[in-house]
Amino acid sequence: MARNASELTVKKRPIVRKWKIFVLVVVVAALTTSSMGIYYLFIYRKTGSKTWTVDDDGPADFSRIQEALNVASDGETIKVATGTYYEGYIEIKKALVLSGENKNTTIIDGKGGAGAVVAIKANNVNINGFTIRNGAWGTAGIYMGYASGCILRDNLIVSNAEGSGIDFYYSNNNNVSSNSITSNYRGIELEYSSNNIINDNNISSNVDGIYLSYESINNTFNGNVVMNNSLHGVYYYSFYGEKPCNNNALIANTIAKNSRGARLDYSTGNILTGNIVSNNSEFGISLFRSNGSLIGNTLKHNGEYSIAISGTSGNKISRNKITNSETGIDLSECSNSALKENTICDNKYAIDIWGNNNLICENTIADNTEGIRITYCNGNIVYHNNFINNSMQVYVRESINAWDDGYPSGGNYWSDHVCIGNPSDGSQPYTGDANNIDHYPFKDPLQVLIIP
């Protein structure tokens, strides 16, 4: 029996419906697969869970470090096995971790390259566990350009001829700690770089250990050993006050056996506290047209002078122990500075002042060739100090200064002067010359801070 057209149409509908369902399933599967790909590329990869491996002579993802850097993404880690990687120049443009197996045996060698051994050109880079050596002439072991939030830790950075171990350039808020930086022209150099923390590094046998220039401000150097550098342990450079390096802090560092300890030129707001500055052949600390606070430092065997400050005002020098230099503290053309609670012993000249309106108070000045020398200056106030067994307690020349704080506050204790009372009543003054008289000296030593 013949079928009409409507019957044929009804019987074909189930087939069409099955095809629609199949197509829908395929589309959903495709979309799901695509979403997984998108997730992997843009979400999973950004979590930084991926770790790549590099080994120059064994099974790994890569045999060269730069190859791994080219493939890795932000937040990922590259682990490098022991070996020597002659890569010439490595460039990092991603926020990742580059980790060597052991700093003594995992070596990045820049021999043959035209630039720094490692150049960091990204934020939040972490490098640890490498020897980094042989940058091109005048370049750096590690160069940081416009980088922030980076961590350089537990590396050995060595032998970058006429260049720096680590060179900061417009790089802020980085942390450099527990590295050995040796046999470079400059150990650590900062240019236009601020708010960096440089902690617990061994910076030795360079020309300059730490070198700051061009408005590098608010940096902190804490707990570093800066030794055996042939010129400066620390140098803040500014040419006639242009682009000064202000408000930097040197805290609890050992600055020793350099030609010059710490030299700070044309800078203000300096903090130097708790440092050991010793056996520097020319001088310990020099502030040239610079000012700051020098508190609680130990200075000994520092050539011509332990502390020299010139052409400035408003310095605070307190609680330092200063021994065995030609001059303990030298103030030249300095005014309105305060020297308080220092122990200054066994120098040729304990304090040498050529400047006006300074305060010298509550110091122990003992066993020096000359205790205090004041020449061609006026308005200095000297009181409540102990002058003990100096070959010459005081030398003054063409100067008018005050040597006591009036009665009953009193003047100073002089070990070679006999008087009655603490302080005495004015009838037994200690006289330097007609314009320099302690009217109210003390019979007994004052109970001022004596640093052991």
Question: Can you tell me the distance from the alpha carbon of 414 to that of 393, in angstroms, rounded to the nearest whole number?
Answer: 8
**pLDDT, tens digit, for every residue of 371-422?**
999 999 999 999 999 999 999 999 999 999 999 999 999 999 999 999 999 9
Q: Which of 179-183, 244-248, 380-384, 445-449 has the lowest mean pLDDT?
A: 445-449
Cβ proximity of 382 and 403 under 8 Å = yes
Q: Is residue 73 part of a domain?
A: yes
Of 19-28, 35-44, 109-118, 378-387, the range with the highest mean pLDDT is: 378-387
Q: Which residues pair with 53 in a beta bridge?
A: 79
Cβ proximity of 185 and 164 under 8 Å = yes
Cβ proximity of 318 and 340 under 8 Å = yes
Q: Is residue 152 part of a domain?
A: yes
Domain tally for the chain? 1
Q: Is residue 63 part of a domain?
A: yes
pLDDT score, position 451: 78
- pLDDT > 60? residue 222: yes
Q: Is residue 176 part of a domain?
A: yes
Q: Is residue 202 part of a domain?
A: no
Q: Is residue 132 part of a domain?
A: yes
**pTM as predicted:** 0.88
- pLDDT > 70? residue 33: no
* DSSP assigned state of 135: P
* Residues 6 or more apart whose Cβ sits within 8 Å of residue 186: 163, 164, 165, 167, 206, 207, 208, 209, 211
Q: Is residue 149 part of a domain?
A: yes
Alpha-carbon Rg for the chain, nearest whole angstrom, is: 34
Residue type, 332: S
Segment 216-232 shows an average pLDDT of 98
Beta strands in 34-178 (DSSP E): 51-54, 77-80, 83-86, 90-92, 97-100, 106-109, 118-120, 126-128, 131-133, 140-145, 151-153, 156-158, 164-169, 175-177
Q: Is residue 24 part of a domain?
A: no
How many CB atoms neighbour CB 114 within 10 A?
11
pLDDT score, position 7: 35
Q: For the CA atoms of 144, 148, 153, 156, what is the dihedral angle to 10 degrees?
A: 10
CATH assignment at residue 123: 2.160.20.10
pLDDT score, position 141: 96
**pLDDT, tens digit, for every residue of 97-133?**
999 999 999 999 999 888 999 999 999 999 999 999 9
* Residues 6 or more apart whose Cβ sits within 8 Å of residue 396: 373, 374, 375, 432, 433, 435, 436
Domain that holds residue 114: 49-184
